[in-house]
Structure 1
Amino acid sequence: MMGSVARFGGLNTKLQAIYGKMLSQDDYENLIALDSVVEVARYLKENTYYSDVLDEVIVEDVHRGDLEHILKTKLIKVMESLIHFTSGPYKDFMKAMFARYEVEDLKLILRAITKGDDPRKIENLFLHSVDYSYLNYDLLTKSKTLNNLRDNLKGSIYQDAFRNLTEEDLSMREFHLEMNLDAIYFGNLIKKTKALSGEDEAILDELIGVNIDLVNLQWVYRAKKYYGLIPEEILNYTLSGGKNFGFSKLKTIVYNDDPRSEIEASLPKKYRELLTEEDIYLERKIYQFLYERFKEFDKNSRLNISKLVAVIHFMEYEIRDIISITEAIRYEVEDIKEFLIRSFD
């Protein structure tokens, strides 16, 4: 108990303060009532805790992509403030969480190379934490070809994503490389949980495992329905480490001619409703499910890692909702709430 108090006492106080500053239901209602991205940016700047990252921004010049990037920099800043309350394997775990944004940066670099663009021209879009990065970005942004990028990633956790790929493969393998990068991120995250306390490892095993399950189900369903990939290829790019869907279950689903019925038949009851909606809502339902799981863990948390991972994900989902609101405003969607992760009373 004393170890838990020392480890989480100050951190949980900080997390509670952050949670208390997040958007209220009134904020959501006010944002939904606005008419443009500029108005959304102005509201966030003048009324919310995003004001610090918008302080020097001229909101009249803000576009949807700009706003998303700015808000995500807020999440990075919050995570950087939280890592100071951790040490040892807990700090290592936090660094592994930062790697998610490195993966997104690598995907941007990969797409730039695919298009023949100079990766240095997209540096303003990067999201990684400068203080907690595994990578040498000065070197990576000088990559002109896939071979350059692969060579510049040697010695990093990401090098295996590019193993055995050639320049000729790039146009058809870009998506596959992105899947490989996601697999490396989750694999590294799971690896870092093994050094935590037994209770915290069990909590993360549940949360990460459920996340991987849902990523895999979404991938299998869409790959079968829309991409026309052969079963072996679909299975090859599923992620390992799922909580309820191991390789055997995924294989059964992938080789079934009707993946929806097979998924529904093998789903635990708590997952089943995810596939009862139209396809357009699938991703939103998955994030809603994860949001509710994080809420349950946070509600029951004491002095363990639950609140840390919950608050980080709450903020991530909040940002997703803000961007969904701007998209809905742009396309004049009537019932914006149908596309949000956060539910309303």
Structure 2
Amino acid sequence: MSTTSYAVLAKARAKYGRFLTDRDYASLIACQSVAEVMVYLKSHTHFASVLSEVNERDVHRGRLEMLLRQYLFNEFDTLCRYDSSVSVGFSRYVVEKTEVEQIIRFLVLLNSHSTEKFIFQFPAFLSKHTELDVNKMANARDYEEFLSTLSRTPYHEILKIYRPDEKGRLPVSEMENKLYDHIMKHMLEYINKKTKGAERQELMTMFRTINDYSIFSRILRLKKYYNLPPEIIKTNMSPEYCSLSPKLIARMCEAESSAEVFRIMQSTGCGRMIGKIGYTYASDISPRVQFRLAKKNIHFSNNPSVVMMAFMFLSEIELMNVICLIEGIRYQLDPKIIQSLIIR
């Protein structure tokens, strides 16, 4: 292993060592207001540098989340610079994931006729790394105008087949699926091309397992909240990027109930993890599995690329925890409920 590779391992684990502890979470949950949360984050955590100029008495949730996401992005970007041999594809993955998140956010706003909100929550730090024309996107007032803003990106080819229905609404869930398939395809192609041996196996296992649970969660969501028929749910699935067989995915799509979907998933090798992670809501399962895999890899893997991706996943989950905690305190949820939502 090269000196730079050792540096990646050491830096990633050192950064992970500064993450919020159980004691930090207990102290944060005990706060009585968002201002108290901000004071604690600024005084006792690794978020202090990015929050130093934020006024805790007048904190805006949107700006706070943007600052924390920028911090996360910069942390990963800094880590990538230690070893260019493993960083190019993973940096692109982070950028593409952020781009897709913003495209989906715009589509949701377009469906609700409130695209004017888009520009105010766009992560400004992304502008230096993306080909998305943010200003044109923000000014698009219909789907055709939006598509034209993507003409120089690969997302145009993916989304041009869709059209609003008679009510002017877009099939955002299906579009979301295709966009994330694009990211996963790029990532797996990069892994196959640039890695080998144990490194490739660890990365493939991590990404495919995460995608397995993403598919499982998507089926549950489409059944429970959208009440879609099996044949429509199947069009939202892409078995080529996971370890679940097409036959098993079809069985879950055709299941009569959420309980049956659970039983089918738990009959698989990776599905047995459901009984070990301790979740409160079904929506918690996928990120808790991701947390479990990433935590294992950041502690035990000797491959820089695996540790780097594990650090990124753990960073995203910590950010999700902080935002969840702030929202819980803002809306005065019971501390026990907030605690149950924290992924540890």
TM-score (norm 1): 0.88
Mark the CA change 1:154 to 1:217 in structure 2 (over 3 Å): closer, same or farther: same
Distance of 2:184 and 2:56 partners within structure 1: 36
Tell whether 2:247 aligns with 1:245.
Answer: no
For 2:301, what is the secondary structure of its paired residue? coil
8 Å contact from structure 1 (residues 235, 254) kept in 2: yes
Of the candidates 43, 46, 49, which is equivalent to residue 52 of structure 1? 49
CA distance in 2, matches of 1:13, 1:131: 28
- Match in the other structure for 2:121: 125
Quote the Cα distance in structure 1 between the aligned partners of 2:226 and 2:324: 25
Select the residue among 139, 143, 146 that pairs with 2:143. 146
User: Secondary structure at the residue paired with 1:130?
Assistant: helix
Q: Is the 8 A contact 2:222 2:233 kept in 1?
A: yes
How many residue pairs match? The answer is 338
CA contact (8 A) 2:143 2:164 kept: yes
Question: In structure 2, how many angstroms separate the alpha carbons of the residues matched to 1:224 and 1:279?
Answer: 20
1:309 aligns with 2:309: yes
TM-superposed deviation, 1:218: 0.9
Distance 2:275 2:254 in 1: 19
Distance 1:8 1:235 in 2: 42
Instruction: State the 1:207 CA deviation.
Output: 0.8
**Residues of 1 paired with 2:278 and 2:231: CA distance?**
27
Which one of 8, 13, 21 corresponds to residue 11 of structure 1?
8
- Secondary structure of 1:171's counterpart equals coil
Alpha-carbon distance between aligned partners in 1 of 2:273 and 2:7, rounded to the nearest angstrom: 38
Q: For 1:72-91, what aligned pairs fall within 5 Å after superposition?
A: 72-87=69-84, 90-91=87-88
Give the Cα–Cα distance (whole angstroms) in 2 for the partners of residues 88 and 134 of structure 1.
24
Gaps of 5+ in 2: none
Query: C-alpha displacement at 1:172, in angstroms?
Result: 4.2
Asked if structure 1 preserves the Cα contact closer than 8 Å seen for 2:210 and 2:289, the reply is no
Aligned residue type for 2:204: D
The 2-side partners of 1:241 and 1:61 are apart by 47
1:285–1:341 contact (8 Å) kept in structure 2 = no
Identical amino acids, percent of aligned pairs: 20
| Distance 1:305-1:294 versus aligned 2 partners, 3 A rule | same
Equivalent residue number for residue 102 of structure 1: 99
Per-residue CA deviation, residues 45-96 of structure 1 (Å, 9 max, x unaligned), is 1221111221221111114343323222211111221222232563133212
Task: Letter of the 2:249 partner, please give it.
Answer: L
For structure 1, list consecutive stretches of 5 or more residues without a partner in the other structure.
none
**RMSD between aligned residues:** 2.6
For the 8 Å contact 1:75–1:316, the answer to whether it is kept is: yes
Secondary structure class of the residue paired with 2:225: helix
